[in-house]
A = this chain, B = another copy of it.
């Protein structure tokens, strides 16, 4: 395998956009091996595919400490999980805590599916502290890491929600934070993410983790005669995941590669990855806090995401972006209306300490 050209490229251009982002350095090798093994041509009902499926789920289970009473299934994207979870888990009302574009889209999905969702909305860049007072909803959708604003929910807040609403299904969007958060799975019922963020992979796969309460709720909705969706309803996904299969031909290559990337993360050690994530985040926030021309967008320290770090650059956005790019450092643009005044920095396992040290050096100049 001659992978020198890729290495040269990743030395000269480092992608800090929060997904698709910098590829994890082992990804291309895994992809090449898949081709060498003839994996893309095998049947998705074959033993060999089931092995790849099992490798992916077992390694994820170990890496993320997912308890045995939680299951893992695959969708085309995390956005698909927004839809499937509303279809499969909500009769009428879900509660959405909105603090950015993606938590808002989850809420809008529920409206499009003709449910009657509730929302609590705060201004961009701020987090949630008080647990809301309202009647217990069927499902609570929490965006643990809002990719558009860099606001993160403290895990203690999720526990507080559970204490207040013990019967609601709590589903957590951790799209741009996994594998960093150390979830207490007794406080949630479901969590999901996509592979092009923290796992440093090409886009095209969503990972949906869910427990027996979700399965039971889905069955109860089906028993009412309501539609829970079709081939990708939770029950259909669940039936097949028990066999290490998918309901229909999936993005097989992505499942194959995910199994090996999760193994690479295990070899490196999840504790080391989390510690490094915290080190890199501290480095960048410190630089931003001290900087004369730049300010972190999220003011409350507790609400600052460790994995998607956003700063206000105001009139200097373009000039600083150009300065960074000249050194091979490519930040993501601000999201939506904040495109022209903000830059976003992903802090994923694919981003090394050395790259972050270079980043803060250049920002500090």
Contacts and interface: CB of A to CB of B under 8 A. Distances in A.
Contact of A204 (B1, B79, B114, B252): B252
The copy count of this chain in the complex is 2
B43 A231 contact: no
Interface stretch (A21-29, A269-277, A290-298, A355-363): A21-29
Nearest to A247: B79
A248 B102 CA distance: 11
Contacts of A2: 1-2
Contact of A254 (B6, B13, B204): B204
Contact of A251 (B44, B233, B249, B251): B251
29 contacts: A6-B35, A17-B41, A20-B43, A20-B249, A22-B41, A27-B40, A31-B35, A32-B32, A40-B196, A40-B202, A43-B332, A76-B77, A76-B80, A76-B251, A77-B250, A83-B229, A83-B232, A105-B231, A112-B228, A112-B229, A112-B233, A113-B230, A114-B226, A196-B249, A202-B252, A203-B250, A204-B204, A204-B252, A251-B254
Q: Nearest 4 pairs between A and B by C-beta?
A: A204-B251, A76-B76, A40-B202, A79-B248
Given A5-B36, A202-B253, A42 B28 contact: no
Contacts of A233: 112
A325 interface: no
A227 interface: yes
Nearest to A17: B43
A249 B77 contact: yes
A227 B43 contact: no
Contacts of A228: 112
A295 to B, nearest CB: 24
A231 to B, nearest CB: 5
A44 B203 contact: yes
A19 to B, nearest CB: 7
A189 interface: no
A21 B41 contact: yes
Most buried by B among A79, A109, A194: A79
A230 B112 contact: yes
Interface string A24-68: 000110011001101011111000000000000000000000000
Given A76-B80, A230-B112, A231-B83, A204 B22 contact: no
Contacts of A23: 35, 40-41
A294 to B, nearest CB: 22
Nearest to A8: B36
